[in-house]
Amino acid sequence: MALISLQPTGWEYAELINPSQVEEVEWVSCKHFPTEIHWELLDAGKIPDWNIGRAEHEVQWVSKRTWAFRSVIDLKEVDVKGKRVEIEFESLDTFATVYLVRPRLPASPLGPLDMDASK
C-alpha cells in the first residue's frame, strides 16, 4: 500500500456547550498547528499567560469546558476511487472523539488512531 501524507488545512477551534450543536457554535481560526486550546486562547487574549505570577489559577476554567478542533483533509475522488484509504491521527487527547464528515468514529485511546476511511 502506498503511503500519502496529507496535512489538514484551515484548523479551527470552538467551545462546545452542547456537542450535538457543532455547526451552531462560533469557530475561530487557529494561530498555530500543532496546537492546544490554552495556546489558542492565550493568543486570542482570552486568558493570561499561566506561567506568570498566579495566573495559573485564572485559567483553570479552560480544562473544565468541552473544546473542539476541526479541519479539512482534501481527498479528491480520483485519488481514492476503488482504493482502501486509512487515516492515521498521530496525536489525540485522552478523550478525543473523531468525526469524518458526519459519521462518528470510535473514541480514541492514547496513541495513534487508525481507521478505514474508504467505507
Question: Taking the C-alpha atoms of 32, 34, 40 and 42 in order, what is their torsion angle to the nearest 10 degrees?
Answer: -90
Tell me which of 58 and 117 has the higher pLDDT: 58
Spell out the domain ranges in the chain: 1-74, 84-119
CB distance 16 to 25 below 8 Å: yes
Tell me the residue ranges of DSSP E strands in the chain. Answer: 9-15, 28-29, 67-72, 86-89, 113-116
- How would residue 33 be classed by pLDDT, with cut points 50, 70 and 90? confident
pLDDT in tens, 48-90: 999 999 999 999 999 999 898 988 777 665 566 667 777 777 7
Residues above pLDDT 90, as percent of the chain = 35
What's the mean per-residue pLDDT of the chain? 79
**Would the pTM count as exceeding 0.85?**
no
pLDDT at residue 105 tops 90: no
CA distance 61 to 31: 21
CATH T-level fold of 1-74: Jelly Rolls (2.60.120)
